[in-house]
């Protein structure tokens, strides 16, 4: 039976469906020139959604970094399809291997690498806005690649989010309060810091979400607890996580941006202090 994307995929060999959901599908394929690639094909429902995709591609094309996949091609196919081709990365999503990083030493090392990767964006005044375990790929040598810049905010370009929207672009369970309240003026690199705080605690607690009502033992939902500032620091204490790491997590998870770190250098300095303590 013919597939919906056969015409687009006819120039590739060894095509294999990797993931399908909503209006988008991703295929592993062999490109005659570039070898193994990932071909993403999807529908864009509006001009603004196509512009988001274009911005993501432009960012990736402008980045030369081992922390991001290389963009190979981008095109629009009538009437309403987009095609993105990226290098294939042999990896596992962090969501599938959080247990490999539950020790303080390994969690800090991974966090440091992710921040080093994000600094590439932050230095260009770009906010990822969707840091979560599914968007961090772990390579065989345990180094990370950061993916999915589909809702990245380019601070020097016009916002594509309507001010009247109740919620800004995000994955709610990993979003900062500013994203959940669509406070556009508060979106900057400290937005990503909040998501990193969630990620750090999840690693230390082997996947448990710090704002999950079942973990916090209060609140109606993860989003409600994020907005209320209720997270499971007590669980870190039970696990005897060093105080310096608890304080690192608490600062990353500051309810307001000004309570988080001033910049990447300040975070890395705090991580170095924690690493010295857990040696």
Angle at 60 between CA 56 and CA 62, to 5 degrees: 120
Using CA atoms of 247, 103, 65, 152 in order, give the dihedral in degrees to the nearest 10: -50
Regarding whether 104 and 57 lie in a shared domain, the answer is no
pLDDT (tens digit, 9 = 90+) per residue, 90-106?
A: 999 999 999 999 999 99
The encoded tokens of residue 145 equal 């690649």
Residue-number span of the structural domain to which 43 is assigned = 9-87
- Structure confidence at residue 10 as a pLDDT band (50, 70, 90): very high
Which has the closest alpha carbon to 215: 236, 241, 240?
A: 236
Regarding whether 222 and 191 lie in a shared domain, the answer is yes
Regarding whether 268 and 142 lie in a shared domain, the answer is yes
Mean pLDDT, residues 52-69 taken together: 93
Catalytic residue among 58, 62, 123, 130: 130
Q: For the chain, how many structural domains are there in total?
A: 2
Regarding whether 172 and 65 lie in a shared domain, the answer is no
Regarding whether 113 and 38 lie in a shared domain, the answer is no
Regarding whether 117 and 47 lie in a shared domain, the answer is no
Regarding whether 153 and 69 lie in a shared domain, the answer is no
Report how far residue 160's alpha carbon sits from residue 255's, in angstroms, rounded to the nearest whole number: 25
pLDDT (tens digit, 9 = 90+) per residue, 15-44?
A: 999 989 878 999 999 999 999 999 999 999
1 domain residue, yes or no: no
**Would the pTM count as exceeding 0.85?**
yes
181 domain residue, yes or no: yes
pLDDT (tens digit, 9 = 90+) per residue, 95-152?
A: 999 999 999 999 999 999 999 999 999 999 999 999 999 999 999 999 999 999 989 9
Only one residue has tokens 């001033």, namely 262
- Structure confidence at residue 263 as a pLDDT band (50, 70, 90): very high
Give the model's pLDDT for residue 161: 60
Question: What average pLDDT does the structure give for the chain?
Answer: 94
3 domain residue, yes or no: no
118 domain residue, yes or no: yes
CATH number of the domain to which 108 belongs: 1.10.510.10
Which has the closest alpha carbon to 148: 129, 174, 167, 125?
A: 129
Give the model's pLDDT for residue 206: 95
Question: Is the confidence at residue 1, as pLDDT, over 50?
Answer: no
Give the model's pLDDT for residue 163: 57
Regarding whether 44 and 153 lie in a shared domain, the answer is no
CATH number of the domain to which 30 belongs: 3.30.200.20
Q: Is 96 a catalytic residue?
A: no
- Structure confidence at residue 274 as a pLDDT band (50, 70, 90): very high
pLDDT (tens digit, 9 = 90+) per residue, 188-245?
A: 999 999 999 999 999 999 999 999 999 999 999 999 999 999 999 999 999 999 999 9
């Amino acid at each position: 039976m013919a597939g919906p994307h056969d015409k687009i995929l006819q120039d590739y060999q060894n095509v294999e469906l990797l993931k399908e959901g909503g209006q988008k599908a991703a295929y592993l394929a062999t490109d005659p020139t570039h070898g193994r690639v990932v071909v993403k094909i999807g529908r864009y429902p509006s001009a603004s959604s196509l512009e988001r995709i274009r911005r993501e591609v432009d960012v990736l094309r402008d980045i030369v970094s081992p922390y991001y996949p290389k963009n190979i091609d981008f095109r629009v196919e009538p009437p309403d399809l987009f095609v993105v081709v990226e290098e294939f990365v042999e990896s596992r999503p962090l969501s599938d291997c959080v247990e490999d990083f539950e020790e303080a030493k390994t969690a800090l090392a991974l966090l440091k690498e992710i921040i080093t990767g994000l600094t590439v964006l932050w230095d260009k005044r770009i906010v990822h806005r969707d840091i979560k375990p599914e968007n961090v790929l772990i390579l065989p040598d345990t180094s990370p690649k950061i993916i999915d810049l589909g809702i990245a905010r380019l601070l020097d370009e016009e916002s594509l989010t309507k001010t009247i929207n109740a919620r800004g672009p995000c994955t709610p369970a990993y979003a900062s309060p500013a994203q959940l309240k669509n406070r556009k003026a508060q979106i900057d690199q400290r937005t990503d810091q909040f998501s990193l705080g969630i990620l750090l605690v999840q690693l230390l607690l082997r996947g448990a979400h710090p704002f999950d009502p079942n973990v916090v033992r209060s609140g109606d939902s993860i989003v409600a607890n994020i907005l209320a500032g209720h997270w499971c620091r007590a669980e870190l204490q039970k696990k005897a996580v060093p105080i310096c790491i608890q304080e690192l997590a608490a600062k990353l998870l500051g309810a307001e941006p000004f309570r988080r770190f001033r910049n990447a250098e300040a975070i890395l300095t705090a991580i170095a202090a924690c690493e010295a303590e857990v040696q």
